[in-house]
Amino acid sequence: MTSNSNLSNMRRLVEQLKLEASVERIKVSQAAAELQQFCLQNAGKDALLVGVPTGSNPFREPRSCAVV
Amino acid sequence: MPCTWVMACAYAPSGCAVACGGLDNKCSVYPLSLDKNENLAAKKKSVAMHTNYLSACSFTNSDMQILTSSGDGTCALWDVESGQLLQSFHGHAADVLCLDLAPSETGNTFVSGGCDKKANVWDMRSGQCIQSFETHESDINSVRYYPSGDAFASGSDDATCRLYDLRADREVAIYSKESIIFGVSSVDFSLSGRLLFGGYNDYTINVWDVLKGTRVSILFGHENRVSTLRVSPDGTAFCTGSWDHTLRIWA
């Protein structure tokens, strides 16, 4: 019966929404500050951000080699 | 592979096996071996069975469990050894296109994105959807957790990438430009989470500053759509795969 299944779908939806509404939330200003802090803390290790010293970069332009 | 399209593949954490799947509706695990004479196809183990195509798969923290998402609108957790379904996740109203596991070792959650424009966060043990985000205007093609695990980014056919904070339970940033009209196929964060890389269907890669919300740079090089993008585990480079039959590494 479509009306019965609609009713049970709606009931399930209401249960799900109740669950989601009860989740503990923090303020965006705090969340944003923590994301920012994590970024800045780890920025030093991020090679794509600060670059690697040319000596250790395996993809640098090949320079000439001298045969000894 | 016995089917025409492979849509998902994943490495096992130990590096000893690969899981893949696609239009065959299954996820199969192949053990890897350096022995050229071994017939690897014979050792294939079919782990997951869905009623529609497999869009994404990922091993959990061990080689023994695989999480899959499918065009049938569900995600599922399987035991590799027995092929048994451990948990299924229902809640998406349309195909699920992507998933990503939370980064911490003790994490028990994962996020999935689908054609119903929703990104859902699930508890792996209970099968419950704990949070749901619906702000995109079109299919979500890719989701990726922020390195700290407190947020995740998503890329969609509506040409935007968005950042959702899990603890504030809402979208906190949109990365878009009026000049970008093509959908995002794949997103990934740099190691610190400061940069967000997005592969777009207009053949480019846009690099966004996560904190400022502005585009840092645009990378050209592919001759067709960028379909997938992943930053290396050590964060020194990232790789993109494209419809132009090439994989390119950017450093």
pLDDT at residue B115, as a whole number: 94
- Rounded to a whole number of angstroms, the distance from the CA of A68 to the nearest CA of chain B is 31
pLDDT at residue B106, as a whole number: 65
Contacts of B198 (CB under 8 A, 6+ apart): B155, B161, B175, B184, B186, B187, B205, B206, B207, B208, B229
Q: Predicted confidence band at B141 (pLDDT cuts at 50, 70, 90)?
A: very high
* A21 Cβ under 8 Å from any chain B Cβ: no
* Residues A35, B190: C-beta atoms closer than 8 Å: no
Out of A32-41, B41-50, B189-198, pick the least confident. B41-50
Nearest CB to A27; choose among B91, B168, B249: B168
- Rounded to a whole number of angstroms, the distance from the CA of B179 to the nearest CA of chain A is 25
Average pLDDT over chain B, rounded to an integer: 88
Which pTM does this prediction carry? Answer: 0.86
Residue A66 pLDDT exceeds 70: no
- Rounded to a whole number of angstroms, the distance from the CA of A65 to the nearest CA of chain B is 23
Residue B140 pLDDT exceeds 80: yes
Q: What strand order describes the sheet that includes B170-175? A: B140-145, B151-156, B161-165, B170-175
- In terms of CA atoms, which chain A residue is nearest residue B231? A48
Residues of B in contact with A26 (CB under 8 A): 167-168
pLDDT at residue A3, as a whole number: 73
Mean pLDDT of B67-79: 92
Output the 3-class SS for chain B: CCCCCEEEEEECCCCCEEEEEECCCEEEEEECCCCCCCCHHHHCEEEEECCCCEEEEEECCCCCEEEEEECCCEEEEEECCCCCEEEEEECCCCCEEEEEECCCCCCCEEEEEECCCCEEEEECCCCCEEEEECCCCCCEEEEEECCCCCEEEEEECCCCEEEEECCCCEEEEEECCCCCCCCEEEEEECCCCCEEEEEECCCCEEEEECCCCCEEEEECCCCCCEEEEEECCCCCCEEEEECCCCEEEEC
Q: Predicted confidence band at A60 (pLDDT cuts at 50, 70, 90)?
A: low
ipTM of the complex as predicted: 0.77
Mean pLDDT of A43-47: 82
* Residues B234, A47: C-beta atoms closer than 8 Å: yes
